[in-house]
Amino acid sequence: MDSSLVVLARAGVGLVLDLDTPGLPRVLHWGADLGPGVDDAAFRSIAVPGRRGGAPAEPAAPTLLPAQVDGWVGRPAVSGDRSRGYAHLRLVPVGLPEVAADGGSVEIASLDGAAGVSVVSSLRLDEAGVLRVRHTLTNDGSDPWRMGGLRAVLPVPDQAAELLHFSGRWGLEKIPQRERFLPGIRSLETRRGRTGHSHTGLLVAGTTGFGFGSGEVWGVHAGWSGWTVHDAERLAEGWSTLGAGELLASGEVVLEPGESYATPDVYFVYSDAGLDGLSGRLHTSLRARASHPSTPRPLVLNTWEAVYFDHDLDRMKGLADVAASVGVERFVVDDGWFLGRRNDLGGLGDWYVDPDLWPDGLHPLVQHVRALGMQFGLWVEPEMANPRSRLVEEHPDWLLHDPDRVPREWRNQHTVDVANPAVYAYLLERLDKLVGEYAIDYLKWDHNRDLLEAVHDGHAGVHEQTAAVYRLLDELRSRHPAMEIESCSSGGARVDLGIIQRTDRVWASDSNDPLDRQAIQRWTSLLLPPELIGGHVGPGRTHVSGRVTSLELRCATALFGHAGIEWDITECSSSELETLREWAATYKRLRPLLHSGRVVRADTDAEHVLHGVVGDGHAVFSYVTLATMTSDIPPRLRLPGLDPSVTYRVTPLDGLSSALPRWARPAAWLESGGVELPGRVLSRVGLQAPTLNPAQVLTLELTALP
C-alpha cells in the first residue's frame, strides 16, 4: 500500500486509514488483518462507496472524528464551542502522521485554525490485537473553549447484525442483553459517578448468531470510572459505528487558553473466533502490562460475612487461626475497625483505628496474622463519609455538592470532594500512615454509592473527582509499591480498564451465591482475566440471596478466579474444614494454569453452564446444572479450546464435584474414574454428562499424556 494509506496490523487484526481526503483520515477498515499484497488503489476503490442521486459529491465515510463537515449526520465525535461560535469544527491534518517503526501505532495531528482548536489522535494496536485510541483536544484560542464531548469512534461492517451489552443491579451484575443492530443509535450512558452495576463493560457488535466460539465480533470499552457513554449507531446511509468516551456534564470541562482535555483510553477489540477470541485478546493485553500481578494470587479470607461490625481481638485471632489451618494466605479485616464504627450510621471518613475496640491499635492482630504466615489486609472507603463523623462535623465544606443544596443521603453517607486539595491531603496522609504503620499488604478500596448532584468548585464535579481518585491511588502505589489494592464498589459497580490500571483485582459482586456467580463471573471475565476477579466461598445459606447451596458448588465456583473465603469458618464442622483444606490445596496447585491459561466457554442452553481454562497440555473445566433438566438424557460435554492432536487424561476433581443423586447411575466413563481421549474427540463428540440435580457441579481436570 502507498503512503496515502496508513496500515496497522498485529495478531491477526488490521486497521486501514486513508489520508487522501479533504479532511481527517477516513477509516477504511477495522477487523481482520488483510495481509500483504493488497493494491492501494484497488482497495480504496472497493472501500469508498459510490454516489446516488441527492447525496453529497464526497461520500460521508467515517473519519477518525466523524463530523458534519464530512457530511456525517450521526452523533459527532467532538462537540463544544466558545462564546464567539464555532460549534462545528473543521479539523484538517497538520503534517504527516507519525507511524511507529514497528507499524503498531500512529499519531495524527489536526487543526481548525479559525476555531482555535487542535487535536492529537493516538492509535496503538498492541501485540494482542487490542486497539487503544485516545484523542487530546487543546484550546489554541484566546478565550475559553467549553467541551461538549469527545469520543473515539470506529466503523463496523454491515454484517455486524446483532448487539450484546449488559444490565444488572446490586448482587446481580452483568446480565447480558442481546438485540438486533437496527438503524438508529443505541446509546448506553452511565451518570452514576462510578462505572455502575449495569455498566456495559463491553458493547459488542457481531455477525448473526455469534457465540463464545463462533462468529465475527467487534467490541468497544471506555477505560474510565466516571460518567461514560458507549454507543452503536447505524445510519440510513448504511454506515455503522461503535464509539465510547467520557460523558461530560454541561460546563464540567472548560478549557482556558493553552489547556487540553484528553479522552480516557478507549479499547477496540476484534475477533473472528467469537467472544472467547475477543476476551482472549483482552486477557493477553492485560497480562502483558508491567503492573499486572506477577506473584501467585494468594488465597484470601475476608472477615465481612464472618463478623460484620462485631470486632473483637480474640474472635479475630480465632478466625485467623482457623483460616491459616485451611491454607489461607491473606487475612483481610473488613469494615468496622475505625472511629465510632459500630454500624453503617457513623464513623465513615474518620480513618483512625478506634481505641475503644483496639486499645493497642491493630498491632496485636497484625502480629498474630503474620505469625501464622499470612498477609494482612484492611478495608477502606476513602471517597465517602457519614454525616455522623468528625470529618463532616468539622469540615462540612469537604463534601462533593453545592453548599446550598445537599443531595440525598445514600447508605447513610455522602461523597467527599477528593479534588479539593485539603481533602486529598487528608486522605493521602491518613492512608499513607495506616499502610506504613501496619505494613499493610492489601487495601480493599470500597465505593458504596452513586454520586448525585456532584459539584466541585461551583461546577459539575464527576470528571475532577474521578481524576483525583486516580491520582490518589497512583500516589499510594508509588509510596507503597508492594501493596495491592482491590476495587470494590458495593460489589461490581466499578469494573473498568481505568480503575484496573491502578488496582490488582476487582470484587465482582457482593453476592457469593454460586449460581448467580456463574453468570456474574462468566461475563465479568469477558473483560478481565480470572486472576483479577475476586470470588469467595460463602456460607451454606448465601447472605444476599438466601439460597442454600452445597459446599462443592461454592468451592468450584470460587476456584475460577482470585479465590477466597467469606464465612465464619470457626463454626464449620470438621468435614467442612477438610473440604476447604483440600480445595485450598487444589487452588494453589492449579492457579498457575487458572491465572495464565485461555478462558473458554461453551454455548449451552439455559439449564447448563460449561466453561474452563486451557493451557499447554493442561486444562480445568466446570459443568454446572442451573435448573431441572427437561430431558432424561443429559447433554454431551463438548470441551472447547483443546489441542486436537493431544490425548488427554480426564478425571473428576474430588471435593469440587457433586455426589450423584441416589437414583442416578454415573456415565460409563465416570464409573471407571476417568477416560483418555484426543482433544479432537473431546471437543467434537464430547463426554456424556452425568445426571445431576439443579445447583450441582462436575469439575474436571485434563492432563496431556506423554
Q: What element of type H or E holds 31?
A: strand 26-32
- Catalytic residue, chosen from 496, 510, 513, 516, is 510
Q: What is the 3-state secondary structure (H, E, C) of 131-176?
A: EEEEEEEEECCCCCEEEEEEEEEEEECCCCCEEEEEEEECCEEEEE
Given the C-alpha cell 476513602, which residue does it identify?
Answer: 382
356 carries an active-site annotation: no
DSSP code, position 501: G
Q: Which of 446, 504, 513, 516 is catalytic?
A: 446
510 is catalytic: yes
Residue pair 690/698 in contact (Cβ under 8 Å)? The answer is yes
| Alpha carbons 687 and 681: distance in angstroms, whole number | 9
The DSSP H or E segment spanning 469 is helix 462-479
What cell was used for 676? 483418555
Q: Which of 242, 177, 196 is nearest to 27 (CA)?
A: 242
Q: In what order do the strands lie in the sheet with 13-18?
A: 5-10, 13-18, 26-32
Interatomic CA distance for residues 173 and 171, integer angstroms: 6
Which uninterrupted H or E stretch holds 576?
A: helix 574-594
Cell 495481509 sits on residue: 35
Q: Are 253 and 463 in contact (CB under 8 A)?
A: yes
Contact assessment for residue 161 and residue 234, using Cβ atoms and an 8 Å cutoff: no
Q: Which residues contact 376 (CB under 8 A, 6 or more apart)?
A: 330, 331, 332, 333, 365, 366, 369, 370, 438, 439, 440, 441, 442
- Taking 3-state DSSP, the helix, strand and coil percentages for the chain, each rounded to the nearest 5, stand at 20, 30, 45
Beta bridge partners of 203: 220
Say whether 40 sits in a helix, a strand or coil: helix
Length of the chain: 706
> Catalytic residue positions?
446, 510
